[in-house]
Structure 1
Amino acid sequence: MKYPLIVSDVDILGGKPCIKGTRISVQLILEWIASGATIQDIVSKYPHLSVESIQQAILYASDAMKNEIIIEVQHSNAA
């Protein structure tokens, strides 16, 4: 298993990928990082998380986006 600290369980947050043993989603970790928090800030606020678990969450998200393709679609105003 590439990311043993990241799990997905339909009974926890509807199956969103989370840090194992928590209800803290990978998405939430990314939102904290995007808002300016450092890994150390997150660990200080949530001491039950490890630096490794946060790093795995970031790497998991990065891997999930590797083959993501964004296609911009323009809608016509013609009726």
Structure 2
Amino acid sequence: MSLLDRITVNPQQCGGRPCIRGMRIRVSDILDLLGAGVEVEEILADHPDLEREDVYAALTWAARYVDHPRLSA
């Protein structure tokens, strides 16, 4: 399983936003916490269903998303 396989998108869940392994924990939630300076260990302690690889998957997804070229007319 690659890290990005941990990211799921379901139009019926969380408004179709990317989530972690089908749970209602959005990638953006993880990124917001990291951006606010919350340590990975604290995120994992506060969300016992998360695994360390889920946090890495969120970071990998974000890196790929921002590196995606966008064309505009």
TM-score by length of 2: 0.85
Superposed displacement of residue 40, structure 1: 1.1
Q: Which has the higher helix share?
A: 2
CA distance in 2, matches of 1:34, 1:52: 17
Q: Which runs of 5+ in 1 are unaligned?
A: 70-79
Identity among equivalent positions (%) equals 29
Structure 1 vs Structure 2 CA RMSD: 1.6
2:68 corresponding residue in structure 1: 67
Gaps of 5+ in 2: none
Q: State how many pairs are aligned.
A: 69
Could you list the per-position Cα deviations for residues 9-60 of structure 1 after superposition, in whole angstroms to 9, with x for gaps in the alignment?
0000111000013101111111000111111110011111000011101110
Return structure 1 stretches of 4+ with deviation > 3 angstroms: none
TM-score, normalized by length of structure 1? 0.79
Q: Name the residue aligned to 2:52.
A: 51
Structure label with greater radius of gyration: 1
